[in-house]
Structure 1
Amino acid sequence: MPIALPGPLRVDDLHAAALPIIVEFPEPVSQAVAAGRDFLAAARGPIYGATTGFGALVGYAGRDTAADQADNTLAHLGAGQGPDLPPPVVRAALLVRAGSLARGLSGVSPHVITALTAALGTGFAPAVPRFGSVGASGDLIPLAYAAQALRGRGDAYLDGRRMPAADALAKAGLTPLVLDGRDALALVNGVSVTTAALGLAQRAARRSHLALQLLTALLTDLLGCDPQFLDARLIAAYAHPGAAVVADHLRAALAGMSASGTRPLQEPYSIRCAPQLLGAAHDALSYVDGVLDADLASVSDNPLLFPGDEAVLHGGNFFGQPAAFAADLLAVVVAQLANLAERQLDLLVDPARNTGLPPMLAAGPGRQHGLQGVQLATTAFAAHIRRDATPAGMQSLPTNLHNQDVVPLGTQAALRAYDQAELLHLLCGSLALGLRQAVHVGARRPTAPACAAVLARLEAAIAPVDPDRPLDADVRLAAGLCEDAAVEFSLKPRP
């Protein structure tokens, strides 16, 4: 489905932008953008970035010509360092930027938005270094690299291959973008990289959250646990809405299950408290959803133009504090979900707690090692996620001659959450692989139809670990399978 600007954009649109997409810039929207541009041309008095220097140098006059002003805007921001951002993040950022500019309050030339939509219709992605943004006056440095690539300067990717940006534009059939000072500033003066990374991280975390619910149900069924910890009366007394949602989901997944009667009266917290833990995550993820909805509907820029009121207003709508707080919260949620997945796998491989299955789920302990390597890796993944969960949104350092005397550092927070969500995905795959192997080495087959369907999907795609083999690819495959199954199950109507 084409995406029509200015939106509202959705998180799924950001994910779709990883591949060539059709983004429409309807004529009425283009005309409104043009009206803002005409108002800018007629406006009198100093206008930040159009007639002035930038940042702490706003008190000085800008360059004499429009082209020089654009060069001056972007050249001094070419200070990023480190590895390139993943192209899907950069392409999602181009879509977010187009959505903001298309709202008609930035005074940008319509052809700038047309260039963004044209690039998104191809496999073009600017090469953007990871480090350099404080997420305050927008994602200035990373977006400057994106703007330069659209001009044919620097480097870019085309269909995953890195090359000079001019070559990538030519091969994609794109024309180098022509900018003046206001256009250049409008491209960089927003937190579009932050919003894009947070949106992609949130989507990945939500999929893993659903997968962990289904995997928790499968673990409960394979071990033969008593499901009374999901009783609706018990959960209602807890009074937290997320716990009720998750418990309903788990009860649906376990419908038809028969308890074995051999388990302890009270299961470990990684099973018994799963609705409370996953429910709290549900509520926190809902907060992040709200921040993203606002970010994707907002104009992140400075100044903003209101032609109907003949007003040019200078302010701070480029300040990414909401996304910074949301990304920090997401990091904490991902860390606790990672803890849950790691502890559930640890329970599953331990013969003292897994109803007598062989250690490490090895088909022939000693001669074979089963999930031993996978479990070691999950410990490393969980530790890595936990170590990086320190909040970024309160690490403010004054910069830019104290013009930016407080900064949110949301870009760092969002990119960190993006990385963590990928590790959580692998933890889910590791647990899914363990559950598939558990049945091979003696666990009972699931008694709930929904759990049996998940196991059947895993068994059809992944052979048992017998004999030992490298399991890295199997973990990735299992992660995708269980997340797809969880999303499908979540969409089924409930009785």
Structure 2
Amino acid sequence: MPTTVSTAAPVDLAAALRRDDLRRAATPLPVLAGEEVRARVDRGREYLRSVLADNDRPVYGAKTGFGALVGFAGRAQEADQCDNTLAHLGAGQGPDLPADITRAALLVRTWSLARGVSGVSWHVVDGLAAMFATTFVPAVPRYGSVGASGDLIPLAYAAQALRGRGHAYVDGERLPAAQALDRAGLVPLILDGRDALALVNGTSLTTAATGLALDSVRAAHRALGDLTCLLADILGSDPGFLDARLITAYGHAGATDVAERMRAVIAGTVPSGARPLQEPYSIRCAPQLLGAAEDALRYVDGVVAADLGGVSDNPLFFPGEDLVAHGGNFFGQPAAYAADVLAMVTASLGNLAERQLDLLVDPTRNTGLPPMLAAGPGRQHGLQGVQLATTALVAEIRRAVLPASTQSLPTNLHNQDVVPFGTQAALRAYDSAELLRLLCGSLALGLRQAVHVGGRQPTAAACAALFDTLADAIAPVDPDRPLDADVRLAADLVTGTRS
């Protein structure tokens, strides 16, 4: 029997796949594969059978070897051709991927196969759909994909686990895959060569990791707009840097929209008159920086939406046109660019959060609050450790921001002579997004502490509500205590997400 019964709203494979479905796939989730889906999958499968019966029609991966060995015949038996597809791809290394990435990747893969143009067996789609109602997660190593010809190596580990080979998790416990399937109430998938190739020959892992990273960065982006308003309110800044006429004259749609939202958050604030005419850029230019980030994130939104709505596989089968189309729809270049952009946005947002916290703990710039926001400087150290950690987090994000999409290396006997490295870009963006979330939590904790050590209570209603949320959950730092858990809690509160 399945280990968990879900009451979540189902994902219908006949409908569009949404970005929030990726996040929801981390926990048991009903996935519906109804008659409409079955009809088109069966039609594609029947067409494949007719093509395979024609000895004069080549079909990559069903009748041939793989990659650079396409010029050689594959194995004669379908079951053997499945092993021919998957066995050599068991070359991944490194720690297992997080469960949310692996399950999201399989949801993207399932939706692509459900379009009916991959020629897979119906029981493959049906079996994948059944998996999502359980806590089953294939154990997939992090390293091995170049984001072209599909995420071959990681998806091969997933396919093998679904066959009962390798390892998998159930309820968070790592087990031999056959034992995990049995505990989850799942039947091992039986695959032929085409089924196996279709499972691995798409960039679903790249798409999933990019989509999950995008959700996290978007949450942090919204949080930083709110926290900037709270910072300005606590310090007593004049909100004129958000003036609608000023921002409209700037001419950028993202800045216009971000500033409009920030004006709603800071509405009602009363300037203290104690701040300089022009605030440091980390406050004054925040709508321009956050606005540019918004413009860039909208580009990433579009790429992820296109990936979620497209078919990533090779070859594709079109029965109505009697066409077997061999090409490169497994090439993850769009997501590679998008994930690289996401990494750059993350670095800029992380820098903003760190600079705002630095301003807040500095008595020469924070309108006279004690250094490091310590309740008793010298006897206590307030946010000093947190501020040190934010420096390290920003450095880590910066170290990882080198674009992966420009690092192409030829491989596979020059069959894959250009590759996008989208998987590397996406996983790096996912990791950096979590560090950004912690930077938001660090800033939020500083703002909570600032009021305790003499900063004014927020005067804008929305800022006051945000502060109260933080203050109700997090005690002042007085006396000193370890603050690692408080940073994580603050990050949860202001981003609305958990790591």
TM-score by length of 2: 0.97
Q: Once the two structures are superposed, what CA deviation does each residue of 1:312-349 show, in whole Å capped at 9, x if it has no partner?
A: 01000000000000000000000000000000000000
Match of 1:448 among 460, 484, 491: 460
For 1:301-312, list aligned pairs within 5 A. Answer: 301-312=313-324
The residue that corresponds to 1:177 in the other structure is 189
Tell me which of 46, 53, 72 is aligned to 1:38.
Answer: 46
Q: Is the 8 A contact 1:7 1:297 kept in 2?
A: no
Q: Of 336, 340, 351, which residue of structure 1 is paired with 2:348?
A: 336
Aligned to 2:108: 96
Which residue identity lines up with residue 31 of structure 1 in the other structure? A
The question of 1:20 aligning with 2:32 is answered no
2:153 partner SS: helix
The whole-number CA distance in structure 1 between the counterparts of 2:210 and 2:426 is 5
| Cα separation, 2, equivalents of 1:146 and 1:372 | 44
Q: Provide the rounded CA distance (Å) in 1 between the counterparts of 2:342 and 2:14.
A: 27
Alpha-carbon distance between aligned partners in 2 of 1:144 and 1:37, rounded to the nearest angstrom: 21
Deviation at 1:156, TM superposition (A): 0.5
Match for residue 67 of structure 2?
A: 55
Pair 1:419 & 2:431 matched = yes
CA distance in 2, matches of 1:409, 1:6: 31
One-letter amino acid matched to 2:99: P
Q: 1:482: how far off?
A: 1.1
Could you tell me which runs of 5 or more consecutive residues in structure 1 were left unpaired when the two chains were aligned.
486-495
Letter in 2 for 1:431: L
Letter in 2 for 1:323: A
Structure 2: distance between partners of 1:6 and 1:214 = 38
Displacement, 1:483? 1.5
* Pairs aligned (count): 485
Please report how far the alpha carbon of residue 31 of structure 1 lies from its aligned counterpart in structure 2 after TM superposition. Answer: 1.1
Could you tell me whether the CA contact under 8 Å between 2:239 and 2:271 is conserved in 1? yes
* TM-aligned CA deviation for residue 115 of structure 1: 1.1
For 2:299 and 2:341, locate their aligned partners in 1 and report how far apart those are by CA, in whole Å. 9
Give the distance between the partners of 1:456 and 1:65, measured in 2 at CA.
67
The CA deviation string for residues 347-382 of structure 1, in whole angstroms up to 9 with x for no partner, is 000000001000000000111110000000000000
* Aligned position for 2:11: 3
- 1:111 — aligned with what? 123
Match of 2:175?
A: 163
Higher alpha-carbon deviation: 418-427 or 4-13? 4-13
Distance 2:45 2:491 in 1: 48
1:484 Cα offset (Å): 2.7
Task: State the 1:29 CA deviation.
Answer: 1.1
Q: Does residue 218 of structure 2 align to residue 218 of structure 1? A: no
Question: Secondary structure of the residue that 2:74 maps to in structure 1?
Answer: coil
* Superposition pairs of residues 402-417 of structure 1, within 5 angstroms: 402-417=414-429
Distance 1:152 1:484 in 2: 37
Match of 1:360 among 372, 375, 382: 372
Q: C-alpha offsets along residues 393-447 of structure 1, whole Å, 9 cap, x if unaligned? A: 0100010011000000000000000000000000000000000000000000000
Q: Partner residue of 1:491?
A: none
Amino acid at match of 1:423: L
Q: Map of 1:60-459 to 2, 5 A cutoff?
A: 60-459=72-471
| TM-score, reference length from structure 1 | 0.97
Name the CA distance, whole Å, in 1 between partners of 2:15 and 2:492.
29
**Cα deviations by residue, 1:243-288 (Å, 9 ceiling, x for unpaired):** 0011101110011100001100100000000000000000000000
Range with bigger deviation, 225-234 or 419-428? 225-234
Amino acid at match of 1:464: P
Distance 2:202 2:494 in 1: 36
- Deviation, 1:121, is 0.8
Q: Deviations over 1:23-59 (max 9, x none)?
A: 0001111111001000000013110011110001011
Once residues 327 and 115 of structure 1 are traced to their aligned partners in structure 2, the CA distance between those partners, rounded to angstroms, is 31
- For each residue in 1:67-107, what CA deviation from the matched residue of structure 2 results, as whole angstroms up to 9, or x when unmatched? 00000100000000001100110000010000100001000
* SS across alignment from 1:82: strand
| 1:472 aligns to 2:479 (yes or no) | no
Aligned-partner residue type, residue 312 of structure 1: V
Give me the whole-angstrom Cα distance separating, in 2, the residues matched to 1:111 and 1:484: 38
Equivalent position amino acid for 2:327 in 1: G
Opposite residue 21 of structure 1, the aligned amino acid is L
- What is the CA deviation profile of residues 278-309 of structure 1, one whole-angstrom value per residue up to 9, with x for unaligned ones? 00000000000000000000000000000000
Q: CA deviation at 1:6?
A: 4.1
TM superposition shift of 1:7: 3.3
SS of alignment partner, residue 465 of structure 2: helix
Equivalents in 1 of 2:224, 2:174: separation in Å? 36
CA distance in 1, matches of 2:242, 2:397: 29
Q: Secondary structure of 2:89's partner?
A: coil
**Alignment correspondent of 1:489:** none
Runs in 1 of length 4+ with deviation above 2 angstroms? none
Residue of structure 2 in register with 1:493 after alignment: none
Deviation, structure 1 residue 160: 1.1
Q: Indicate conservation of the 8 Å contact 2:136/2:169, yes or no.
A: yes
Query: How much has 1:8 moved relative to structure 2?
Result: 1.3
The AA in structure 1 aligned to 2:417 is: D
Q: How far, CA to CA, are the matches of 1:117 and 1:348 in structure 2?
A: 50
Structure 1: distance between partners of 2:357 and 2:261: 21
Asked if the contact 1:15–1:200 (Cα under 8 Å) also holds between the matched residues in 2, the reply is yes
Equivalent AA in structure 2 for residue 40 of structure 1: L
> Matched residues in 1 for 2:447 and 2:49: separation?
65
Query: 1:171, 1:87 → 2: CA distance?
Result: 17
Q: Secondary structure at the residue paired with 1:107?
A: coil
Assess if the C-alpha contact under 8 Å between 2:95 and 2:142 holds in 1: yes
Which secondary structure does the structure 2 equivalent of 1:444 belong to?
coil
Secondary structure class of the residue paired with 1:408? coil
Contact kept? 2:236, 2:272, Cα under 8 Å: yes
- Determine if contact 2:14/2:36 at 8 Å carries over to the other structure: no
Unaligned runs of 5+ in 2: 1-8
Matched AA of 1:36 = G
